């Protein structure tokens, strides 16, 4: 398998186990940014309230991504290609651009969070250049890029090593956070809330749904549709419900959302830095791979090597300006949720209401720019825009459910509205 192959996977190549798919999503979600979501809630909610938010949001967000995961085994194509029937070639291209651009922020953010902790340890143990947060961020970014460049098989092998190690360290982090929460001098109550409960829920769901555009990228290598859904749901829901509360506890202990300060506050210097470093690598495997597929869907003849390395290098370079990424983290989550939740609604409406029958003719049509899905799907893009507008208009009452409902209803209303037949539109 090539590093950024957008062609359909042959049925004989669907040899990836559901356990490997599970590991990929665990490796993507047992990560510094998941930890950081909990930290972003710490200033507004008590620990019990945060745990409730996280539980509800983790399940809801993971369920939406998991609902689309079976399309990978059925269609055997990347997510941005699977979006073409619902949005048209142009609409799916817009999704690819959103994915491509937003992943630069994810790559940089992951690098910055891990570097914050690693640089502290480097400065304490070695000193000199080892304490440079910028050098750590760039180095981690380039290492992740190299693994992705080696192809999906290399990512699976790396995850088989890194994910168990991350989980072991995460268990250690769990005990450290519990110890900090039970300490006699632990903060008794959260500061005055500045975020509503529904906005907090949108932040958690938005983080989960940020993975929605990889619903088929890895599951297409797995044969079982049901197994893919279960692997994705469990991989995302359990890890978020685990890691986010730890971030909230650590942030309250530190009185800060700075990753290095949080780990130091719960007594995990080097061990915490190891967690963030390994987690950064595993999640950036996914981010770089997703961006590569998005770019190749727009420019199929682009070199795999050039695409993968350009993405990794730019992401690493953006890590050199760390302040902005942590300061704007919550706002970034809300913008992504507003954009991506309606995309999920459109895809659910297209493929499941009613269920689309998949055959080789449909798969071939996904790659025909002059075929049934050419141009832009008015129904799909209008539903996307309407869902996004509903998300941001909902404000304090929570945007996730309104965005999903509006995008699904608008898509169905426009797609199945009576109109003269032009002979050019495919209804599958």
User: Which structure tokens are listed for 149?
Assistant: 């460049």
pLDDT of 193: 53
List, in sequence order, every residue forming a beta bridge with 355; answer none if it has no partner: 352
Q: Are 388 and 338 in contact (CB under 8 A)?
A: yes
pLDDT of 61: 92
Q: What share of the chain in percent tops pLDDT 90?
A: 27
User: What pLDDT digit, counting tens, does each position of 389-413 carry?
Assistant: 999 998 777 888 899 999 999 999 9
pLDDT of 36: 83
Q: What are the helix and strand counts (H, E) for the chain? A: 18, 0
- CATH numbers and ranges of domains, the chain: 13-327 (1.10.4160.10)
Which residue ranges in the chain fall short of pLDDT 50? Answer: 1, 189-190, 192, 421-428
pLDDT of 423: 45
Query: Residue 419 burial (CB < 10 Å; 0-12/13-18/19+)?
Result: exposed
pLDDT of 425: 44
User: What pLDDT digit, counting tens, does each position of 348-377 carry?
Assistant: 999 998 888 888 889 999 998 888 898 899
Closest CA to 315 of 156, 4, 102: 102
pLDDT of 428: 40
């Amino acid at each position: 398998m090539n590093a950024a192959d957008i062609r359909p996977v042959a049925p004989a190549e669907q040899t990836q186990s559901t356990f490997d798919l599970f590991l990929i999503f665990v490796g993507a979600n047992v990560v510094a940014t998941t930890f950081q979501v909990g930290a972003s809630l710490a200033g507004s909610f008590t620990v019990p309230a945060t745990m409730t938010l996280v539980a509800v949001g983790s399940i809801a967000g993971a369920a939406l991504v998991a609902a689309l995961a079976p399309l990978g085994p059925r269609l055997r194509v990347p997510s941005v290609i699977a979006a073409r029937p619902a949005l048209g070639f142009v609409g799916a291209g817009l999704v690819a651009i959103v994915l491509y651009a937003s992943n630069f922020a994810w790559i940089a953010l992951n690098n910055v969070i891990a570097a914050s902790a690693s640089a502290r340890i480097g400065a304490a143990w070695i000193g000199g250049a080892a304490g440079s947060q910028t050098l750590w961020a760039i180095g981690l970014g380039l290492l992740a890029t190299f693994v992705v460049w080696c192809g999906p098989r290399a990512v699976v092998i790396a995850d088989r090593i890194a994910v168990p190690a991350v989980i072991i360290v995460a268990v250690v982090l769990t005990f450290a956070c519990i110890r900090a929460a039970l300490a006699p001098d632990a903060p008794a109550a959260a500061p005055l809330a500045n975020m509503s409960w529904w906005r907090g829920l949108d932040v958690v769901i938005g983080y989960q749904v940020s993975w929605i555009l990889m619903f088929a990228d890895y599951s297409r290598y797995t044969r079982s549709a049901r197994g893919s859904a279960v692997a994705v749901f469990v991989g995302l829901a359990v890890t978020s419900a685990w890691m986010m509360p730890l971030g909230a506890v650590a942030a309250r202990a530190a009185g800060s959302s700075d990753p290095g300060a949080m780990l130091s506050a719960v007594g995990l210097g080097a061990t915490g830095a190891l967690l963030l470093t390994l987690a950064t690598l595993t999640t950036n495997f996914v981010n770089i791979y997703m961006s590569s597929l998005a770019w190749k869907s727009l420019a199929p003849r682009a070199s795999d090597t050039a695409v993968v390395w350009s993405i990794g290098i730019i992401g690493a370079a953006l890590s050199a300006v760390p302040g902005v990424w942590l300061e704007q983290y919550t706002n970034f989550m809300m913008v992504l949720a507003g954009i991506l939740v309606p995309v999920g609604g459109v895809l659910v409406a297209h493929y499941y209401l009613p269920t689309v029958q998949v055959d080789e003719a449909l798969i071939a049509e996904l790659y025909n720019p002059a075929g049934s899905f050419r141009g832009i799907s008015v129904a799909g893009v209008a539903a996307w825009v309407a869902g996004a507008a509903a998300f941001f208009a909902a404000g304090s009452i929570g945007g996730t459910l309104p965005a999903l409902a509006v995008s699904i209803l608008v898509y169905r209303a426009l797609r199945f509205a009576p109109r003269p037949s032009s002979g050019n539109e495919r209804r599958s």
